[in-house]
Structure 1
Amino acid sequence: MKFSSSLRYYLVKQPAIQNFTWICNLTPASSFQFILITVACYLCIIFLLTRVFRLRLPPPILKPITALYDTAILLLSFVMALGCTLSTMSHAPDLRWIICCPPNTPPSGPVFFWAYVFYLSKILEFFDTLLILLSDCHQRLTLLHVSHHAVVIPMCYLWLWTSQSLFPVVLVTNASVHVLMYAYYLSCALGVRPRWKKLVTECQIAQFRASFGALALMLGYYFFGPGCSGVWGWILNVLFFAWLLFHFVNFRKQAYKPKSE
């Protein structure tokens, strides 16, 4: 019980988390200009490191850096999933709130704090691309990889800007999948290639399909109830998830097809 109470304090009831409020243009990294500059810098760095400066790090240097980075993202993803779960359990008045926030819900409190951390973590994940550029594995730098990292930033920004419904479900599922995914990456960086790579892909596909199922439930609440907060922000999410689902299903088909084909 003492451990559980301490966990809830540091992940839910700590004053900075409990009293968090996201205010556009006042909260750090909350302006539209920040989004535009961040994504533009990301794309410029990719252009420079692929077309102008071809920097490479030798494996003895790159692998420890990659292992440290994978460990950091793995732990951060675990903390975000746990923090958002505990915050939702503590502050959601009912199960419906998790799917459909009431209209005009302010972006404040522990649940939105973890949405803010999740948003910032997607900027940190730009290092995925940098590590690829510093290696000799440029075939991994696909359009899917670059566009995914570029689009997810404004998508998560919309969660906060519109107090978007359903984001706790998406946050927890995505962060949980990232725990599994970066555990796989970490094992590879340490020289051990696990046999459950396909499981990572299956979980990624499952999270997108589950998101569409939850979205259908949210739309039911929206059209047959008093409404849901930030429902129009889901237009970008739906297009993004559909696009990712298509590419992941296609990747699974190509990567795991029978060898006899």
Structure 2
Amino acid sequence: MALQSPTYWLAEHPSIVNFRWSPTQSWGSTWSFLFTAISAYIAAATTLYTLLILSRRRRPIPLGPVPAVHSLAVALISAVVFVGMLLSAEAEIRETRWFWSRTKTSTPFQWLLCFPLGTRPSGRVFFWSYVFYLSRFLHLLRTFFTILRRRKLTFFTLFNQSILIFMSFIWLEFSQSFQVLAILLTTLIYSVVYGYRFWTAIGLPRARFPFVVNCQAVLLGCNLVCHIGVLFLHLLKGGCNGIGAWGFNSVLNGAILFLFLKFYAKKMHSRNTRVSEDEESTHWGSVNLKEKHT
């Protein structure tokens, strides 16, 4: 029974199995909330940054253990979402395998990339997609940590943070294909990187190579390969659910990849300077990817 408890709480609990994404049942599931939240984030960040500039304060504002606690919280939440999504995907595959064996139209890996047409945002995997969406708001705090430490606030930081929230929303709104595998990959990397950030924040040794930027490169590379797989399956199988949202998502991911490569080439090959890890991206996919080398 003890071994079954994690599976029950992460994949078989009635609240997870019976989850349904809808404006009446899910907090933050309306378009008005999405745009209001993003607008409030941009306004708050730019206002704080402007006030600090006008105050002519040059020294960083002490934050104490807050950034370390934040990194630990994100790492733990990401680990829980990863395990929950993994168990939920396994349960969904197990329960529908009989249908696939009869129709011979899909395999478990194909389902991870390409939802059948008509898929609705309900059930286990969409519950964890919803939790992932909500967790994106916790990531926004890193922007304010950066500002209070007197680091530069860029347009791309605000843009990319907003876009990542927006993409998480449309995954649910349109039951977009590929989101299960995307969340598994992302939360796995998040748990490692934010665990590393917590490790360094409490004064433990840093890696002797650009750890965070390499993890980001791996994540972007995996996303690129998976997007190609979704397109292939969409053309081969006659359609994947939410392909319109996937197309929009692909454009945004392509822009993020371009900015990442551009910044990486500029900073890693044109300059040989030591920079603080606090200046690296406040989110995944950001172009502000500086990392301290030791």
TM-score normalised by L of structure 2: 0.80
Structure 1 residues 64-83: aligned runs within 5 Å: 64-83=65-84
Structure 1 residues 47-126: aligned runs within 5 Å: 47-52=46-51, 58-59=61-62, 62-92=63-93, 93=96, 94-126=108-140
2:149 is aligned with what amino acid?
A: S
2: CA distance, partners of 1:226 / 1:251:
38
Q: CA RMSD in A?
A: 2.3
1:118 is aligned with what amino acid?
A: F
Equivalenced residue count is 256
Cα shift readout 1:218-260 (whole Å, capped 9, x = no counterpart): 2222122231110110122112211222232234334444988
Contact 1:63–1:189 (CA<8 Å) still a contact in 2?
Answer: no
- Counterpart in 2 of 1:240? 252
Contact 2:34–2:166 (CA<8 Å) still a contact in 1?
Answer: yes
Give structure 1 stretches of 5+ with no counterpart. Answer: none
Residue 57 of structure 1 deviates from its aligned partner by 6.9
- Counterpart in 2 of 1:16? 15
Give structure 2 stretches of 5+ with no counterpart. Answer: 97-107, 274-294
Note if 1:201 corresponds to 2:213: yes
Residue 114 of structure 1 deviates from its aligned partner by 0.5
CA change 1:49–1:258 in 2 (3 A) is closer
Structure with the bigger percentage of helix: 1
Residue 186 of structure 1 deviates from its aligned partner by 1.2
CA change 1:84–1:183 in 2 (3 A) is same
Contact 2:71–2:194 (CA<8 Å) still a contact in 1?
Answer: yes
CA change 1:21–1:58 in 2 (3 A) is same
Structure 1 residues 182-221: aligned runs within 5 Å: 182-195=194-207, 198-221=210-233
Q: Counterpart of 2:176 in 1: which secondary structure? A: coil
Note if 1:127 corresponds to 2:128: no
Contact 1:12–1:110 (CA<8 Å) still a contact in 2?
Answer: yes
CA change 1:134–1:159 in 2 (3 A) is same
1: CA distance, partners of 2:266 / 2:168:
30
Cα shift readout 1:143-197 (whole Å, capped 9, x = no counterpart): 3322111111111111001100010111011111111221222123212351155
- Counterpart in 1 of 2:238? 226
Tell me the percent identity: 27
1:175 is aligned with what amino acid?
A: T
Contact 1:71–1:186 (CA<8 Å) still a contact in 2?
Answer: yes
Note if 1:143 corresponds to 2:155: yes
Contact 1:101–1:164 (CA<8 Å) still a contact in 2?
Answer: yes
1:143 is aligned with what amino acid?
A: F
- Counterpart in 2 of 1:33? 32
TM-score normalised by L of structure 1: 0.89
Residue 204 of structure 1 deviates from its aligned partner by 1.3
2: CA distance, partners of 1:258 / 1:228:
42
Contact 2:193–2:215 (CA<8 Å) still a contact in 1?
Answer: no
1: CA distance, partners of 2:85 / 2:256:
24
1:232 is aligned with what amino acid?
A: G
Residue 117 of structure 1 deviates from its aligned partner by 0.5
Contact 1:184–1:197 (CA<8 Å) still a contact in 2?
Answer: no
1:212 is aligned with what amino acid?
A: L
- Counterpart in 2 of 1:157? 169
Contact 1:184–1:193 (CA<8 Å) still a contact in 2?
Answer: no
1: CA distance, partners of 2:14 / 2:34:
28
Residue 29 of structure 1 deviates from its aligned partner by 0.4
Could you tell which deviates more after superposition, 83-92 or 202-211?
202-211
2: CA distance, partners of 1:196 / 1:162:
42
CA change 1:89–1:108 in 2 (3 A) is same
2: CA distance, partners of 1:45 / 1:253:
32
Structure 1 residues 172-191: aligned runs within 5 Å: 172-191=184-203
